[in-house]
Amino acid sequence: MEREKDTLVRHISRSHLELAKILHYKSEVAAHMAGLIGQIPDKNPAFADIETLMNQSVNVTRNVTSYLSSLADLEEALATNLGLAVKELESREEHE
């Protein structure tokens, strides 16, 4: 039984590592897009039309929102799994 729990914890750990990598890449994309927006001149920007500008703004907003939502999901998963691990450790201490 202990071996199965250890295996499960290892799998959860790997899963969290992969989630962290995905979030890192999402943050890189969001930072790059924000950098591009920062390069837009404040006065008289030359865009094809206002609709193109609005579409690009919506895309950036969606990207940042997706990244923040993913961070929240990771935090929730970490909290849930940490809670389970703490309960298991407390259970072990009671039996010893």
pLDDT, tens only, 20-59: 888 888 888 878 877 877 777 677 666 677 788 788 888 8
Q: Residue 80: what pLDDT?
A: 87
Q: Residue 45: what pLDDT?
A: 66
Q: What is the pTM of this model?
A: 0.57
- Is the CB of residue 67 less than 8 Å from the CB of residue 30? yes
Round to whole Å and give the CA distance between 70 and 62: 12
Note the helical H segments in the chain.
2-38, 50-95
Q: Residue 4: what pLDDT?
A: 80
Mean pLDDT, range 74-81, rounded to an integer: 85
pLDDT in tens, 51-74: 887 888 888 888 888 888 888 888
Q: How many CA atoms, within 13 angstroms, populate the side-chain half-sphere of residue 33?
A: 17
What torsion do the CA atoms of 51, 57, 60, 66 make, to the nearest 10 degrees? -90
The crossing angle, in degrees rounded to 10, of helices 50-95 and 2-38 is: 160
**2 compared with 24, residue with greater pLDDT:** 24
